[in-house]
C-alpha cells in the first residue's frame, strides 16, 4: 500500500539514500533499523510530507491515512479523556471505552481521566498523543521510538497492542526484542541503500553480513584478475605480434566495472575500567526513606545491600522512584531518614538521565572526558574518544552540536575515564542504536564490579539481571532471581489488556 521508488536524499556532503526502492504490502508490520544518523527518521518525515526527496517517488493510495506520533504538545480537550476522543474516527465518536482502554494501557489511571492535559508531565503528554494516534486506527501507523517515554508495564502493553494491529505499521525502536516481537518484516538502511527481509533483525543482519562477505571475496578475486591482465598488457605492449591480444585486454579492462572496497562503519566497542574491590559488601541502604518537598513518599524504610558482582535491575512504572533511588546511591540526594553506607574502596560510575543535560555545552568531547579525570594524558583521552566513536576531529566537536546519542556516548566516555567497581546506570540505552546497545550489554556482562541499572528493556533484564529491585503497589521490594522468574512468581499488578 506504500510504494517507494528510486529514492534519493542528501544533506550537504552526506548521502542518506541513493536509488532506494521498496514496497509495504497490506497488513505488513515493518521494523526499520540502521545506525543513528543514517536516515530512519528522515524517511518517516518524507513519508508524511515534512521533507521532500531530492529525487524518486513516495506513492500512497488515495484516501490512505498515514498516522504518526506528534511531538508538539497542543491540546484543546478539557480532560485527557476528551483529548483522547479527538483521535477517534468519525464513525466512532462515542466509543469512549476504546480511548479509556488505551489510556489505561499507557499508564494513566481512573483518577487521571478527568484531569486536564496540562496537569501532566511532558512524558505523559507524549503518551496522550500516542493514545490519540493509536485510537485513530490509521491505515499506516508510523512509530519513531515509541517506548522512549514509557515504563516497562506500558511497553509490555504496547507490545501486545501492536501484535494485534491489523493495518500496516512501520516502527523505529532501539529495542531489538520489542521490534522482533511486533513486526512481520525488517528493513535496514545500510550504505545509502535499503535491504528488506521477511522475518526479524537476526535474519536481516545475517543476510547483510553474508552479502558483504560475498562482495569482499568477489572484489579481491576481481582485483587478482585485473592485475593479471595488467601484467599481460605491460609485458606484451611493445610486441607487434601481440598487438591484437593487448588491445583486446585493454578493452576488457575498460568494460569491466570495478567493485569498490566497502568503507568501514564505526561501531562502539569498549570495556569499563575496573577498580579493585577487596570484600563482599559494596553499599548498603538501611531503613532509607525519601520524598521530595510537597510530594508523596517514594521510599519508606527501604533496606538494600549491593554485593560485589551483583547485576541488579531496577524496574517499575515511571514516577515511582527508580531514578531517585539511583541518585541516593550516587549520593546526589540525601535520605530523609535512614543510612546509606559504602566501603572505602567503592568507586562509583554514575550514568544518570539528567547527567547528559549537565554536560558543558561549550566543551568539546575530549574536554568533557578530561574533566572526569584531569590526570589523563592527551593520548589516553583521545583513546577513550576513539572507542566512543569520536575519532580524529570528531573528538573536538562541541557538546552543543552533539545529538542525543553522541551525548550519551560522551557520558559513557566520562565513566570510562575513571576506574570504577560499582556502575549505577539510569536508562543507559536511551538515544543509542541497536549496535551500540549490544556493545553496552557486552561491556556490562564482562564488568567485574557490581551493576545497578534502571531499564525498561526486557532484553537487558533477561540477559543481565540476577536480582531485581521492583517498585509496585506503593512499595519497594527486592527479588532474588531473574526477570523471567519475577514474571512467573510475582508479575505486574498494573498490567492492562487491549480492548
pLDDT band at 269 (very low <50, low <70, confident <90, very high): confident
Looking at residue 53, the DSSP 8-state letter turns out to be: -
| Residue pLDDT, tens place only, 367-393 | 999 999 998 888 889 989 988 888 888
The angle at the Cα of 419, spanning 415 to 423, to the nearest 5 degrees, equals 55
For domain 268-347+419-499, give the CATH number.
Answer: 3.40.50.300
Say yes or no to pLDDT of 484 above 70: yes
* Locus of grid cell 528488506: 196
Compute the distance between CA of residue 7 and CA of residue 52 in angstroms, rounded to an integer: 10
Tell me the per-residue pLDDT of 458-481, one tens digit each, with 9 for 90 and over: 999 999 999 999 999 889 999 999
Q: Which three-class secondary structure state does DSSP give residue 9?
A: strand
What is the pLDDT at residue 398? 94
**CATH number, domain 2-203, options 3.40.50.300, 2.70.150.10, 3.90.1580.10, 3.20.20.10:** 3.40.50.300
pLDDT band at 242, cuts 50/70/90? Answer: low
CB 96 within 8 A of CB 81: yes
Residue 347 has pLDDT above 80, yes or no: yes
Q: Where are the domains of the chain?
A: 2-203, 268-347+419-499, 360-418
State CA 288 to chain mean position distance: 33
For residue 65 the three cell numbers come to 491515512
Check whether 135 has a pLDDT greater than 90: yes
Q: How far apart are CA 480 and CA 487, in angstroms?
A: 13
| CA–CA dist 339, 282 (Å, integer) | 14
Q: Encode 20-31: b = buried (16+ Cβ within 10 Å), e = exposed.
A: bebebeeebbbb
Cell 474516527, residue located: 89
Check whether 301 has a pLDDT greater than 60.
yes
- pLDDT at residue 259 in the model: 62
Give how far Cα 21 sits from Cα of 34, 47, 56, 57, 209, Å. 16, 13, 9, 9, 21
Put the strands of the sheet holding 185-190 in their side by side order. 66-68, 140-144, 168-172, 29-33, 185-190, 193-198
- β-sheet bridge partners, residue 307: 281
Rounded-to-integer distance, Cα 80 and Cα 116, Å: 6
The phi and psi torsions of 202 (rounded to 5 degrees) equal: -65, -45
Give pLDDT tens digits for 390-434.
Answer: 888 899 999 999 888 889 889 989 998 999 999 999 999 888 888
Q: What is the pTM of this model?
A: 0.84
Contact by Cβ (8 Å): 308, 282: yes
DSSP state string for 427-496: STTTT--HHHHHHHHHHHHH-SSEEEEE---HHHHHHH-SEEEEEETTEEEEE-S-HHHHHHHT--TT--
How much helix, strand and coil, in percent to the nearest 5, is found in the chain? 40, 25, 35
pLDDT in tens, 302-321: 999 999 999 999 999 988 99
Q: Please tell me if the domain spanning 2-203 has the same topology as the one spanning 268-347+419-499.
A: yes
Confidence of residue 494 (pLDDT cuts 50, 70, 90): low
Amino acid at each position: 500500500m506504500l510504494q517507494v521508488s528510486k529514492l534519493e536524499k542528501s544533506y550537504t556532503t552526506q548521502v542518506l539514500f541513493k536509488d532506494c526502492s521498496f514496497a509495504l504490502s497490506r497488513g505488513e508490520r515493518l521494523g526499520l533499523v540502521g545506525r543513528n544518523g543514517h536516515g530512519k527518521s528522515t524517511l518517516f518525515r518524507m513519508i508524511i510530507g515534512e521533507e521532500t526527496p531530492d529525487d524518486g517517488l513516495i506513492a500512497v493510495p488515495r484516501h490512505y491515512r498515514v498516522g504518526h506520533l506528534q511531538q508538539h504538545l497542543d491540546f484543546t480537550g478539557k480532560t485527557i479523556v476528551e483529548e483522547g476522543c479527538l483521535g477517534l474516527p468519525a464513525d466512532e465518536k462515542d466509543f469512549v471505552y476504546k480511548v479509556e482502554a488505551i489510556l489505561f494501557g499507557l499508564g494513566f489511571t481512573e483518577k487521571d481521566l478527568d484531569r486536564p492535559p496540562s496537569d501532566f508531565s511532558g512524558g505523559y503528554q507524549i503518551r496522550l498523543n500516542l493514545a490519540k494516534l493509536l485510537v485513530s486506527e490509521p491505515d499506516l501507523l508510523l512509530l519513531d521510538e515509541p517506548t522512549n517515554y514509557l515504563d516497562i508495564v506500558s511497553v509490555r502493553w504496547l507490545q501486545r497492542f501492536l501484535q494485534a494491529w491489523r493495518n500496516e505499521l512501520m516502527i523505529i525502536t532501539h529495542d531489538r526484542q520489542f521490534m522482533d516481537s511486533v513486526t512481520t518484516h525488517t528493513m535496514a538502511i545500510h550504505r545509502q541503500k535499503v535491504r528488506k527481509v521477511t522475518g526479524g533483525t537476526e535474519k536481516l543482519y545475517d543476510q547483510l553480513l553474508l552479502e558483504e562477505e560475498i562482495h569482499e571475496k568477489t572484489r579481491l578475486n576481481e582485483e587478482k584478475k585485473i592485475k593479471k591482465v595488467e601484467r599481460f598488457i605491460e609485458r606484451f605492449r611493445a610486441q607487434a605480434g601481440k598487438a591484437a591480444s593487448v588491445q583486446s585486454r585493454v578493452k576488457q579492462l575498460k568494460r569491466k566495472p570495478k567493485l569498490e572496497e566497502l568503507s568501514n562503519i564505526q561501531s562502539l566497542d569498549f570495556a569499563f575500567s575496573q577498580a579493585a574491590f577487596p570484600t563482599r559488601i559494596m553499599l548498603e541502604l538501611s531503613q532509607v526513606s525519601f520524598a521530595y518537598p510537597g510530594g508523596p513518599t517514594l521510599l519508606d524504610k527501604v533496606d538494600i545491600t549491593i554485593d560485589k558482582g551483583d547485576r541488579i535491575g531496577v524496574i517499575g512504572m515511571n514516577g515511582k522512584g527508580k531514578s531517585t533511588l539511583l541518585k541516593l546511591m550516587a549520593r546526589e540526594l540525601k535520605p530523609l531518614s535512614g543510612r546509606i553506607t559504602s566501603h572505602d574502596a567503592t568507586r562509583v560510575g554514575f550514568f544518570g538521565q539528567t547527567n547528559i543535560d549537565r554536560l558543558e555545552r561549550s566543551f568539546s568531547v575530549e574536554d568533557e572526558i578530561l574533566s572526569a579525570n584531569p590526570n589523563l594524558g592527551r593520548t589516553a583521552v583521545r583513546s577513550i574518544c576513539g572507542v566512543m566513536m569520536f575519532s580524529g576531529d570528531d573528538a573536538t566537536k562541541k557538546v552543543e552540536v552533539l545529538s542525543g546519542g553522541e551525548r550519551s556516548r560522551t557520558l559513557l566516555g566520562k565513566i570510562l575515564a575513571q576506574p570504577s567497581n560499582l556502575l549505577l546506570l539510569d536508562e543507559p540505552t536511551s538515544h543509542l542504536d541497536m549496535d551500540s546497545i549490544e556493545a553496552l550489554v557486552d561491556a556490562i556482562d564482562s564488568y567485574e564490579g557490581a551493576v545497578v541499572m534502571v531499564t525498561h528493556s526486557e532484553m537487558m533484564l533477561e540477559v543481565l539481571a540476577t536480582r531485581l529491585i521492583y517498585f509496585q503497589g506503593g512499595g519497594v521490594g527486592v527479588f532474588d532471581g531473574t526477570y523471567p522468574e519475577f514474571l512467573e512468581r510475582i508479575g505486574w499488578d498494573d498490567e492492562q489488556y487491549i480492548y
